[in-house]
Structure 1
Amino acid sequence: MPDLVPVHGGLAAPVDRTVPANRIKDFEREAATLKAVPVDDADLSSVYRFGDGALSPLTGPMGRDAWQRCLDEGAIEHGGNKYAWTIPISLPVDSDTAASLKVGQKVQLVSSRGTAVAILTIGDIFPYDKPRYLKAVYQTERTDHPGGRMVMGDNRSMLLGGEIEVLPQPKHPEYGQFVLRPAETRSLFAEKGWTRVVAFQTRNPLHRAHEYALVYGLETLVRQCDTAGAVLNPLIGETKGDDVDAATRMRTYRALIDQNALGQGDSDAALWKTKNYTLHDRVILLGLDIKMFYGGPKEAVMHAVYRQNYGFTDIIIGRKHADAPYDDGKDIWDGLAAQRIFDSLGGHLAIKPLKVGFAAFYESIGRVDLVENHADEKPVSISGREIREQLQAGRLPDPRIMRPETARILIESMRK
């Protein structure tokens, strides 16, 4: 079966810059002879994604020209064509390190644990223009927000671009089986016979309203064909310190899927009665290890780019996708900005956004539904602060908001 969607950049297959098994020992010996350049944990996930092709068509961190074009045009150029790309990815280093390097030099990239993970052939060394980056990516000059703190709190002031070769990423002992390479996910979708596959991006444990966005997305595709599937596809790279850690979140997602709880009571019963398969037959869990930028609309596009490289045909884009407000609680972007950006991209993008509105539980129908369908009705609601307080106290939140399958795992995690 041919791929459902092309690799970004018009490539025939995802970029593969991962060192093959039969070269690893020689590669490690070579790396040991090279100058070491440190990579922090957040950037390490990007290094591995250069290796496995999730960042296709890039073959390493961007040089100056690509970095600037990305900020100015929201695109990269490949093969004479422009492709949507809204957040540039280069490798930050401090000024002293940058001064000791030169274009054409090979360096070993070393993790925070002191282990060599890649060899970079330096193609460019250039200043990290942080104000320009913040203005282009976050569309604000204010820095009192998570993305602003990530950038301005980083004392590295220079960027490296170049070509990279990467050692295979070690598998996480608890959830590594759910983290696949783009070539592997493309093969998996083909094996399942799926011709439409929608990704649901999240960085949080799921409330029922979150679940409903996934259910709505899958049901939208199922109404169009009987060869559709959905993937709960959480981001498990570096996130904010107050976000729930990846291992705990993955346990909550597994519980929802393994116990057939996801979407229970909130799906379109009439639709599924017409099928010889169930909603749960068409939902799987796969993680994506890459960091969050908390970049709202610009990051929504990047989430789509990643998923296209993994072989998804569609991605659910909710209101306030990848959103994080200013410290005073005010919104950086309006609620529809992340959906609207797909109408004016700077370059080609093959994956399609499946736009979903806010959802909530409504007593009148006894389930979760889109808010837009209940203009004159007040939904069941509770603040995030109240939910956290209940979980910290060991109490299960209202099951109309969060399922006990999820809540029990979060309570146990908070007790440790």
Structure 2
Amino acid sequence: MASRHGFRALRNFGKFAGSCRALQPASTFSSLRQIAPSINRVAGSPFISQTGVRSFASGMFGTFAEDGKISPHGGKLVNTMVTDEKEKAALISSCKSTMELSDRNACDVELVCVGGFSPIDGFMSEGDYTSVVDNMRLENGLLFGIPVVLDTDDEAVAPGDKVLLTYKGQNLAVLTVDSKYSPNKPKEALGSYGTSSIEHPGVAMISMERGKYYLSGKVQGLEIPTRPFPCKTPEEVRAGLPSNTDVVAFQCRNPVHRAHYELFTRALFADNVGKGAVCLVHPTCGPTQDDDISGEVRYLTYVVLKEETNNPSIQWEYLPYSMHMAGPREAIQHMIIRKNYGCTHFIIGRDMAGSKSSVTSEDFYGAYDAQDLAKANAEELGMCTVPSLNVVFTQEEGYVTADYAKEKGFDVLKLSGTKFRKMLRGGDDIPEWFAFKSVVKVLRDAQK
């Protein structure tokens, strides 16, 4: 009888395995674990243990660490932070020169040291740089969206040197220089941003802000930058996430308004998201475009919104990342980073990380280019994408999908971002269906 039950379970297991390839790793692992007891009855012996279930799920959908969290990109979370004070002092004294970091470079140094950019533990060699530009992969074959590089105009720095990386009075890290090379900036721009036009902010940054050389080598962290907003490390964020549970990441670089909130709360009920999932709202708080709201003000809007909504299914953390506005390539970069922070799913919005020409205002990317590239590479990353719903506010039923509103012939209310900013500056009442009162207050206070 036990064998008959066991083989029936195996038969069901086969059907399940065939159907779950569209599912995400965490919910698949959970489902496999649920049916394991039936399979264990085969011949009265433990046919599949929890380790076996994990092994099967990992083979199909990407690996999971022993704590029930998705494994970091490359399998290991990098951490180059030095904790011993004597070792720190010795490293600093061994430095031949000092380099003051820009805001953008300080973000990159932090993410390298704490593992946000795992598997890399330093700035890219010319080989990795070229491979990422040309193929969106490191030399070892792992996916990587955009090169992570450190620029300089210093003619004296040379391979073998140790360079103290400073930022606003802090000793952030020590770079041991492996190589110094001249980048092909036009090729880098075209590969990373899909254009060599100086009208793209990322291309302008490469051309006008970065120095003539790039330095490669391992970076050893000494301090985390002091910021007006807290940025937990991947290890710290992972520790606060539930085990064996889907974690849906929502990336944003602007204040969250009503439509955004509807979008990421509804994502928890997407077809490929398991029951009991949580959403990690993980805004980038580093430099973005010149006309974006400052990171400090954005952070304050998130704090008040977290308090106002008090939703236990939503976790809020903050990412010290500097936006490149690289569209599809940046979507891949964000997925890799969020995987390192413990996320199994990633919400891909329309025109994600998109950019317009500074002259013509034309879009550099199609509305769904980022979604298409993310979907094409999600399986290899061991993650799932959750397309962002196009939600609109209606007089009849509040927020619904645009398709549903059209089908029902509902009256859709609209407010453009341009008009919202004008109303904000003019002190006009902002409709509550569009923005949270608490967020509007923070934005208005910041204008005083």
Q: Same fold (TM over 0.5)?
A: yes
Residue 281 of structure 1 aligns to a residue whose secondary structure is coil
Give yes or no for contact 2:375–2:385 (8 Å, CA) kept in 1: no
Residue 194 of structure 2 corresponds to residue 139 of structure 1: yes
Structure 1 residue 224: deviation in Å?
2.7
Cα distance per residue 1:325-384 (max 9 Å; x no partner): 11212111111101000243499312222111332212232x222223333556311221
Residue aligning to 1:62:
124
- Identity rate of aligned residues, in percent? 25
- CA–CA distance in structure 2, aligned partners of residues 325 and 188 of structure 1: 37
- CA–CA distance in structure 2, aligned partners of residues 128 and 236 of structure 1: 28
Aligned residue pairs total 380
Residue 426 of structure 2 corresponds to residue 390 of structure 1: no
Amino acid at match of 2:317: L
Change (3 A) 1:170 1:141: closer
Change (3 A) 1:4 1:193: closer
Match of 1:296 among 315, 327, 338: 327
Unaligned runs of 5+ in 2: 1-65
Residue aligning to 1:277:
none
Query: Following superposition of structure 1 onto structure 2, how do residues 110-121 of structure 1 map, counting pairs within 5 Å?
Result: 110-111=166-167, 113-121=168-176
Residue 338 of structure 2 aligns to a residue whose secondary structure is helix
Structure 1 residue 394: deviation in Å?
2.1
Structure 1 residue 150: deviation in Å?
1.8
- CA–CA distance in structure 1, aligned partners of residues 357 and 92 of structure 2: 47
Which moved further from structure 2: 120-129 or 295-304? Answer: 120-129
Structure 1 residue 186: deviation in Å?
1.4
Residue aligning to 2:97:
35
Match of 2:364 among 328, 332, 338: 332
Residue 247 of structure 2 corresponds to residue 197 of structure 1: yes
Structure 1 residue 193: deviation in Å?
4.4
Give yes or no for contact 2:252–2:282 (8 Å, CA) kept in 1: yes
Cα distance per residue 1:126-160 (max 9 Å; x no partner): 11222111111111232212222222221512111
RCO higher in 1 or 2 (8 Å CA, sep ≥ 6)? Answer: 1
Query: Following superposition of structure 1 onto structure 2, how do residues 8-407 of structure 1 map, counting pairs within 5 Å?
Result: 8-11=73-76, 14-23=77-86, 25-27=88-90, 29-30=92-93, 33-78=95-140, 82-94=141-153, 97=154, 99-111=155-167, 113-172=168-227, 174-176=228-230, 179-189=231-241, 192-193=242-243, 195-220=245-270, 224-226=274-276, 228-260=277-309, 280-327=311-358, 328-345=360-377, 348-365=380-397, 367-375=398-406, 377=409, 379-407=412-440
- CA–CA distance in structure 2, aligned partners of residues 160 and 48 of structure 1: 16
Give yes or no for contact 1:104–1:122 (8 Å, CA) kept in 2: yes
Residue 153 of structure 1 aligns to a residue whose secondary structure is helix
Give yes or no for contact 2:378–2:384 (8 Å, CA) kept in 1: no
Residue 305 of structure 1 aligns to a residue whose secondary structure is helix
Structure 1 residue 171: deviation in Å?
4.2
Change (3 A) 1:157 1:369: farther
Give yes or no for contact 1:396–1:404 (8 Å, CA) kept in 2: no
Give yes or no for contact 1:60–1:164 (8 Å, CA) kept in 2: yes
Q: Report which of the two has the higher share of helix.
A: 2
Cα distance per residue 1:149-208 (max 9 Å; x no partner): 222221512111111101120443x432xx21111111111xx44611111100001121
Residue aligning to 2:62:
none
Q: Which has the larger radius of gyration?
A: 2
Cα distance per residue 1:77-127 (max 9 Å; x no partner): 44xxx2221201110111xx0x2122222211222x354321111112111
Normalised to the residue count of structure 2, the TM-score between the two structures is 0.80
Residue 177 of structure 2 aligns to a residue whose secondary structure is strand
Which stretches of structure 1, 4 residues or more, deviate above 6 A after TM superposition? none
- CA–CA distance in structure 1, aligned partners of residues 294 and 396 of structure 2: 36
Residue aligning to 1:269:
none
Structure 1 residue 26: deviation in Å?
1.9
- CA–CA distance in structure 2, aligned partners of residues 72 and 222 of structure 1: 32
Give yes or no for contact 2:174–2:220 (8 Å, CA) kept in 1: yes
- CA–CA distance in structure 1, aligned partners of residues 171 and 229 of structure 2: 23
Give yes or no for contact 1:84–1:347 (8 Å, CA) kept in 2: no
Q: Superposition RMSD on alpha carbons, in Å?
A: 2.1
Amino acid at match of 2:366: D
- CA–CA distance in structure 2, aligned partners of residues 288 and 238 of structure 1: 11
Residue 312 of structure 2 aligns to a residue whose secondary structure is helix
Normalised to the residue count of structure 1, the TM-score between the two structures is 0.86
- CA–CA distance in structure 1, aligned partners of residues 137 and 68 of structure 2: 23
